[in-house]
Structures are given as C-alpha cells and as structure tokens.
Amino acid sequence: MSTKSVRSWMPPIPRPLERLFNSVPLLTYDANELPARAQSSTASDIPTLYVFSTEEDARKGLPSFNPKCLKWQTFLKLSKIPFNIIPSTNHASPTSQLPFLLPARKPSPTASKPPGGIEPIPSSKLEDWVLSQKQKDQASPEKQDEKFHPRQEAYQSLLDVPLRNSWLYTLYLDPTNSNLVEKLYIHPSSSSLWIRATLRHQLRRAAESAILTTTHSVSSGGPLKGFAHGVVHPDEIYRSAKEALEALAYELSIDNRGAEGNTGWFFGATEPGLFDAEVFAYVYLMVRFFSRPESAEGEKESGEEETKLWLGDLVRQAGNGELVGHMNRILELTWPDLVVRDA
Amino acid sequence: MLELYVWGPAFGLPSIDAECLGTIAYFTETLDETEYQLIQSSPSAVPTHHLPALHDPARNTWTSGFSAITAHIQSRNAQQQYRYSKKVQADSTAYKAFLTDQATPLISLSLYVSSANWAATTRPAYSKILPFPLPWTEPTAIRAAMSARAADLKLSSLDTDAEAEKAEAAAKADPSWVHVPESIKKSMAQRRKNAVREKLTPEERSRIRLEGVTAEVLDVLVGALASKEEDEKEVYGKEEDSDELPEETTTLEFRCLAFGYLALMLLPEVPRPWLREIMEAKYPGLCDFAREFAGGRYGILGTGHSTERKLPWAEVKNTKSEGLSTTARQGHTLSGVLTRYVQGLVRIIPLVGEEGSRWWTQRRAGAVRTPTTTESQALVAMRKANKDLVWMTTGGLSLAGITAGLFYLYQGLLPFGAPVQTWRAPVSIGLTGLGAAGAMFAGVDDHLI
C-alpha cells in the first residue's frame, strides 16, 4: 500500500478517521449561474461603477472615500458619462480590486436571451472604455493627441509613491486614525468580531508591505516570501509627501503652454484629464479627512499637538495653495455643492 | 564624523545597491573625505533596517534612505540649498520618485530575477561582501524581495529555477492516470529540442518584451538628463566649474541617484547582458553619462584613473579602529554576525518567524532616535517593545505546549482495529506455572514460608 512505502515520522492515521476521510471525496462543483433577478438588479440602462462608499453617499452620488475609486469616479464625471454608484467591497470584484464598471445593459431586441453578455470592466481598462464611449458619442472622433510626456511619467511616480504612501500610512498605520478605518472599511464589511479583527490585521499588513516595497529597494511583505523585513519610517514618509506636494503645486503654477498662459490643469492641458482626476482624488480626501480640526487649533497649542502632522495642512501649505485651487476647480465641474471655501 | 552604512562594493562599483551608490556619489560631491566614513554593512546590522543609513554620532540620530540622507546633509550645509530654481527642484523630485518606482524593477530583472545572471554574478558578489554565515540567509531574501518588485512586469520566465519547479509541481499535480515513464518523456523532450524556441535562452525569448519595458523607463530618463539640449539658458550651476558643466537642469541629488541606477544597469559583467545591449544600442547618451560619472570626472570607479578618489572606507573588522561608534561595531563582531544569522533563520520558520522578525525589527527601529523623535519617545517605544516581548514569549510557549500536548494525545490514540492482533499466554511465576507437576507441589511453598 502507499502508506507503507512512505516512511514518515507521523503516527499512522487511526482507522475510523481514515475511513471517514475516504468516504468524503474531494469534489469541486462548478459555480452556480447567477439568478436571473441578479442581472436586473445590477445591470441598468446606464453604466454602474462599483466603489467603496456608504449607502447614503452612493445614492446621492457623492465622492467615494477611496482614492483609487474617487479617481475613476471623478474621471467619469469629467468625461460627462452618466453612471450609477453602488457601494461594494473587493470581494465582489472579478479582479478583486475596486473600482470596476458594469456597462449599460444593451437594449437588445431578444429579451429572452439569457443575460450574462455584459462583461465588467476592471479599472485598468477603464480609460480605454471611456475613450471609446466618447468617440461613440461624438460624430467626429477626435484623436487625443497622446504625445509622450516624459515629465508626466515622472510626475505620475510622485502620485504612485510618496502621495500614496502617505495616504496609506496616515489612514491605516497611524494609530490615531484607527477609528476612521473602522468606520470606513471594517464596520460595513462584517458585524462579526473575529472577521473584523482579521480584516483590521490584513489591512494594516497590506498597507505596510505596500509602503515597504515601494520605498525600500530591499524588503518585501506577504507570507512565506517575507524574508527581509523593513520598518516604516513616518518621518520619511511625511517628508517625501511634502516634497511631492510642493512639486505638484509648482507644476500647476507654471504655464506650460506659453502663449495661452496657465490653464489651471496639469501639463497645460485645455481640459482636466486622468492625471488631474488622480491628484484631485488624493488632495480632496486628504483635505476632507486629515485636516486639523478647527476647534482644537485655538485651544491646544501644546507641544504634543504640534508634532502631529496633518496631511490636509501639507496640501494647503504646498506652494501658494495651488492644489486647493485645483481641487475647487474640479469640484465646480463635478460636485459644485462641495467646494471648500476657506481662507 | 558621519558614519554612512552602505552595501559593500561589487562589479567594480563602490556598492551593489543603487541607492547606496547614489548616496556615495552624493557624499563624494558634497563632503570632504575627512567628514565621513563609509561602513560596509547589510540591513540587518543597522537599526533602521534599510541601507543606506546615516549615523550622526554627534546628535546620535539615524537617517535612512537616499532622499532622507541628502535632505539631512543639506540641512547641515544650508548654503547649498538654494542653488536650483523651483522648476528644477520640482522636476528632480518627480524624477527621483520615478527612479525608485520604475528603475528598480529593471535592475531587479537584470541582476536578480534572471537565473543565469543571479547565479553567475550577483550571488557571488553578495557572498564576497557579506561576512561568513550570512551569505546563506541574506542573498536569497534579497532575491525574493527584488523579484517581488519586478512581479508587475510579468517577466518571471527569466527565473528558470522557479519555472522548472513550477513545471515539476504541475507534472505532479497532473491528474491523468496514464503514467508516462520518465525515460520516454525524456526522449520526447529531446526530439522537441530541435525547435528554435528551445535553443533560445529565456532572455532571448522575451527580448521584445524586455526592450519595451526598458524603453518605458529609459525614455523618460533620456528626457530628464538630456534636457540640457533645450534652450533654457538659466544657469544655476556651481561657480567653480560651470564652464565645462552643462546648464544645471537637474539637481545634483537626482544626477547622483540616476548614476546609481544606470551604473548598475550598465556596468556589471553578466552572462546575459540584455540590459546593457539595449542601453548601448539605443541610449548612448545615458551610457556616456554613467561611464563619465563613474570613471572620468568623478573617479569613483576603481579604474586607476588619475582623478580617482579614495573612498574613506572604515575598517570595521579591526576593532581598534578609531572614531567608530560602538553601534558601528556592534553588528560586525562575531557575536553580532551570528545574531544576524540566527535572525535570518528565524524568519524562515513558518507562521511564527514572520511575526517574530517583524517584532524584532520594529523593536530595534523604535529604540533609535531619528532626527524628529526625542530620547523619551525612543524610551517609550523600547518599553512597549519589552512588554510585547513578554506577551510574545508567553504566547509562543503556551502555543508550543498545546501543540506538543495534542501531538502526544494523537500518538497515544489506539490504532483502532489494527490488522495484527496477538494473544499472549498469561505468564505466571511460581510453582503454578509448571502445570500438573507444579500443582502437585502447590501446598509445599505454604509450609516453606
């Protein structure tokens, strides 16, 4: 018998247990088809974007609290494509990443045709989809002058590394913001104490390893692979975030177009693009969640308070407030009610 | 005197790591040799767990990472700070972020993921710069981490070891019950070898992808480093040699960092030099930049050039070396190296090792001063870490106890219905054991006693 050939240090399995295992064959069933009503409740006549959001915000179409989701939400709004918002989680996404978009149901004459013809679009392909929609709408498909901008590529890295890391650190790893994480991500997911604790742990670890892999050339996270551990240095994260925000603010303030002057958008574009949407997503969320509370400012000016850095303040202080101006310009185009008016 | 901890020299360059290389270049440019010392190290020896790391013994602070260190040096020599226009500063910030974000995966593909290059060049280089038992633990960890950086590029086929392992696992998991003997399989494979594809190395097979990936990164750098050709005539350069310098359209920090990355792409002698071939064919400007920076003007490279500078390496092994703080020597004594080795081993233990090493690194990092934390904060962190230690030990011990208990319980379970059963005749000692004869004398022993 096979058990005899393998000499193992493990004691033999007791017979009753072995019989039990033998009588339970491993068999994986195919996934069930979605019930027909699922299609009608998810697909609609206009596209649906699945994002991190609360039920109420989603109904009103308010901004998502996740930078990546907000980026695409803003981009779709700027592209003037009507869409619905449904609050969701990573587990619902086919690529296990939010956001993803479910295109509009096709008005097909064969209503009896079984549903399932609509493929969800992951965020990596959303830009192409938006461009194709735009070209469909306009009779004359104007080709976007997709010129290669080395500077734009470089500035993109500013968003991907320092700004993203500062966001991840502040939200997930800074213990003073743990209430916010609970409220935004953990409580809506589950009511079970155990699941919440696991989720909290996973989120923190994921954020930590994301920061470490981008800042350190040598370190990694993840089970079994995590040989070399690094340490997250908050000073360094905030310092590079400040530097990045200064650079972005400066890029906004100069006029790249020469004769036409400053357009108010990045890289002298005539209308806001994807890069603007992404900057807006970070800037808006930092100002919204991590601004110094008004009341505390007057009362507590003790040394303890001073050491805490507020990302929202970094945004306001960068350059001459160009980033807040940029944020408000985008808000006026997308959510005019939310424009921040402060000194 | 400042202490700069870096990865040791390799490939004829002062360091094997791009950021360390950039930092060394920056130090040779801005500081005098007497102001700092270079200490060959590895991340496990410094409390920040990241190289390059700068220890300022005067203030007892630790700084790690290229841009943090350059910022620290700038704050020391404040007059150098405003040499550049805002535009140059903003652009250079962006390009520096771009380098760390995008150029690292390229180096990782060339030196770490590619099995041939790793085995022939990179691993021997690490073995040379690490003290004895450490080459057993650390290089593999670094390779795993670097491969993770390049995972997004989806070019793991360069790692032929991993590919072979994967194929083996797939063959094992193959549910087909027609079992083809190994010998037949081999001859079949031999016949298939005639195909062109089989004759190519993985690097040659994915050459087009590699060229695309390289171009994405280097095109941007060409734009950054060659922007001197644009007619921006503002001069922000240093006065002393601005006549031969091109107009400074990038900051010194960016150029140093770019040198670090480009040199590691270009200069190592690897058996599969696809990256160098692509660079030499398409980006001669970048090659010139890296070579000039390394050999000619800056003389960092050990080329025997007349302007070559001697780098102030510290002799760590010599325990009597002067001017080195105790922390510098701590990680490099025999016991220090052994501790690092054991830590490396602990990390590999599944489940427990992960958390254990995480805790350990954080404990060490929390106990040192960074420029913004105070002594008291470090002390608080230390105390918290100590409390964690108690919890971890208790938890670990009880877990081990429970596991051992369960194991013995399981082992003690009777193998129900064992196929062989033995009966033994009761063994009785004394006269009754002798059968009938014994019975005859049964009464005797009563009298004897």
Contacting residues of B for A175, CB less than 8 Å apart: none
Q: What is the pLDDT of residues B360-416, one digit of tens each?
A: 777 776 666 665 555 666 667 667 766 777 787 888 899 999 999 998 887 777 666
Does the distance separating the beta carbons of B372 and A235 come in below 8 Å?
A: yes
Q: Which of A70-74, B263-267, B387-391 has the lowest mean pLDDT?
A: B387-391
Distance from CA of B86 to the nearest CA of A (A): 7
Q: Which of A25-34, B23-32, B437-446 has the lowest mean pLDDT?
A: B437-446
Please say whether the beta carbons of B367 and B385 come within 8 A.
yes
Q: Indicate whether A24 belongs to any domain.
A: no
A288 confidence band (pLDDT: 50, 70, 90): confident
Does the distance separating the beta carbons of A16 and B413 come in below 8 Å?
A: no
Does the distance separating the beta carbons of A225 and B416 come in below 8 Å?
A: no
**Could you give the percent of chain B with pLDDT greater than 90?**
9
pLDDT mean over B125-151 = 85
pLDDT mean over A226-237 = 68
Does the distance separating the beta carbons of B94 and A158 come in below 8 Å?
A: yes
| Most B CBs within 10 Å, among A9, A148, A153, to test the B interface | A153
Distance from CA of B185 to the nearest CA of A (A): 24
Please say whether the beta carbons of B198 and B160 come within 8 A.
no
Number of separate domains in chain A: 1
User: Which of B90, B371, B372 is the closest to A250 by Cβ?
Assistant: B90
Q: Indicate whether A65 belongs to any domain.
A: no
Q: Decide: helix, strand or coil at residue B4.
A: strand
Q: Which of A17-26, B280-289, B323-332, B359-368 has the lowest mean pLDDT?
A: B323-332
Q: What is the pLDDT of residues B90-112, one digit of tens each?
A: 888 899 999 988 898 899 999 99
For residue B117, is pLDDT > 80?
A: yes
For residue B134, how far is the Cα from the chain centroid?
12
pLDDT mean over A101-105 = 79
- Integer-rounded Cα radius of gyration of chain B: 32
**Could you give the percent of chain A with pLDDT greater than 90?**
7
Distance from CA of B443 to the nearest CA of A (A): 49
pLDDT mean over A152-167 = 89
For residue B304, is pLDDT > 50?
A: no
Contacting residues of B for A220, CB less than 8 Å apart: 144-145, 148-149
Does the distance separating the beta carbons of A12 and B91 come in below 8 Å?
A: no
Q: Buried b / exposed e across A104-137, counting CB within 10 Å, b at 16+?
A: bbeeeeeeeeebeebebbbbeebeebbeebeeee
Give residue A167's pLDDT. 92
CA-based nearest residue in chain A for residue B108 = A217
Cα separation, A154 vs B225, in Å, equals 13
pLDDT mean over A260-282 = 82
Burial of A162 (0-12, 13-18, 19+ CB in 10 A): buried
Q: Indicate whether A259 belongs to any domain.
A: yes
Does the distance separating the beta carbons of B67 and A240 come in below 8 Å?
A: yes
Does the distance separating the beta carbons of B416 and A16 come in below 8 Å?
A: yes
For residue B44, is pLDDT > 50?
A: yes
Q: Considering only residues B333 and A121, tell me which one the structure prediction assigns the higher pLDDT.
A: A121
Q: Indicate whether A191 belongs to any domain.
A: yes
Q: Which of A81-85, A158-162, A220-224, A319-323 has the lowest mean pLDDT?
A: A220-224
B302 confidence band (pLDDT: 50, 70, 90): very low
Give residue B400's pLDDT. 92
Does the distance separating the beta carbons of B100 and A214 come in below 8 Å?
A: yes
Q: Which of A68-77, A182-191, B131-140, B308-317 has the lowest mean pLDDT?
A: B308-317
Amino acid at B403: T
Give residue B445's pLDDT. 60
Give residue A70's pLDDT. 92
Q: Considering only residues B210 and B437, tell me which one the structure prediction assigns the higher pLDDT.
A: B210
CA-based nearest residue in chain A for residue B53 = A216
User: Which of B94, B140, B354 is the closest to A155 by Cβ?
Assistant: B94
Going B409 to B414 to B419 to B422, the CA torsion angle's sign is positive
Residue B61 belongs to what H/E stretch? Answer: strand B61-64
Contacting residues of A for B414, CB less than 8 Å apart: 14
Please say whether the beta carbons of B256 and B26 come within 8 A.
yes
Strand order in the sheet with A100-102: A84-87, A48-51, A100-102, A121-122
pLDDT mean over B192-199 = 63
Does the distance separating the beta carbons of B104 and A14 come in below 8 Å?
A: no
Q: What is the pLDDT of residues A304-335, one digit of tens each?
A: 455 677 888 888 888 778 888 889 888 888 88
Q: Indicate whether A188 belongs to any domain.
A: yes
Give residue B402's pLDDT. 94
Q: Indicate whether A116 belongs to any domain.
A: no
CA-based nearest residue in chain B for residue A228 = B141
A141 is written with which tokens?
């498909």
Does the distance separating the beta carbons of B91 and A151 come in below 8 Å?
A: yes
For residue A53, is pLDDT > 90?
A: no
User: Which of A153, A228, A231 is the closest to B145 by Cβ?
Assistant: A228
Highest mean predicted confidence (pLDDT) among A12-26, A98-112, B113-127, B363-377: B113-127
Please say whether the beta carbons of A81 and A88 come within 8 A.
no
Contacting residues of B for A153, CB less than 8 Å apart: 98, 102, 220
Cα separation, A5 vs A321, in Å, equals 75
Does the distance separating the beta carbons of B101 and A214 come in below 8 Å?
A: yes
**Mean pLDDT score of chain A:** 77
Cα separation, A275 vs A78, in Å, equals 12
Residue B38 belongs to what H/E stretch? Answer: strand B36-40
Q: What is the pLDDT of residues B213-239, one digit of tens each?
A: 899 889 888 888 865 544 343 334 333
| Most B CBs within 10 Å, among A231, A243, A251, A308, to test the B interface | A231
For residue B324, is pLDDT > 70?
A: no
Q: Which of A105-109, B58-62, B148-152 has the lowest mean pLDDT?
A: A105-109
Burial of A1 (0-12, 13-18, 19+ CB in 10 A): exposed
Contacting residues of A for B219, CB less than 8 Å apart: 148, 150
A222 confidence band (pLDDT: 50, 70, 90): very low
Instruction: Give the C-alpha distances (Å, rounded to integers) separating B302 from B17, B299, B308.
Output: 17, 7, 7
A301 is written with which tokens?
């000016």
Cα separation, A210 vs B202, in Å, equals 29
Amino acid at B244: E
pLDDT mean over A273-300 = 79
Please say whether the beta carbons of B52 and A236 come within 8 A.
no
CA-based nearest residue in chain A for residue B345 = A227
Does the distance separating the beta carbons of A225 and B148 come in below 8 Å?
A: yes
A270 lies in which domain range? 152-295+303-338
Distance from CA of A117 to the nearest CA of B (A): 29
User: Which of B149, B350, B416 is the closest to A15 by Cβ?
Assistant: B416
**Mean pLDDT score of chain B:** 76
Contacting residues of A for B18, CB less than 8 Å apart: 217
Cα separation, A327 vs B300, in Å, equals 46
Contacting residues of A for B421, CB less than 8 Å apart: none
For residue B314, is pLDDT > 60?
A: yes
Does the distance separating the beta carbons of A161 and B49 come in below 8 Å?
A: no
Contacting residues of B for A226, CB less than 8 Å apart: 347, 354
Residue A171: HSE in the Cβ half-sphere, 13 Å Cα cutoff: 27
Instruction: Give the C-alpha distances (Å, rounded to integers) separating A11 from A2, A15, A123, B414.
Output: 15, 12, 51, 11
pLDDT mean over A132-142 = 65
Give residue B79's pLDDT. 63
| Most A CBs within 10 Å, among B73, B101, B126, to test the A interface | B101
Cα separation, B25 vs B36, in Å, equals 13
Backbone angles phi, psi at A121, to 5 degrees: -105, 115
B381 is written with which tokens?
């962190």
User: Which of B94, B145, B371 is the closest to A235 by Cβ?
Assistant: B371
Amino acid at A216: H
Q: Indicate whether A54 belongs to any domain.
A: no
Long-range contacts of B332-338 (CB under 8 A, 24+ apart): B332/B41, B332/B45, B332/B131, B336/B45, B337/B131, B337/B132, B337/B133, B337/B134, B338/B133
Distance from CA of B362 to the nearest CA of A (A): 6
Q: What is the pLDDT of residues A184-198, one digit of tens each?
A: 888 888 888 898 888
Q: Indicate whether A37 belongs to any domain.
A: no
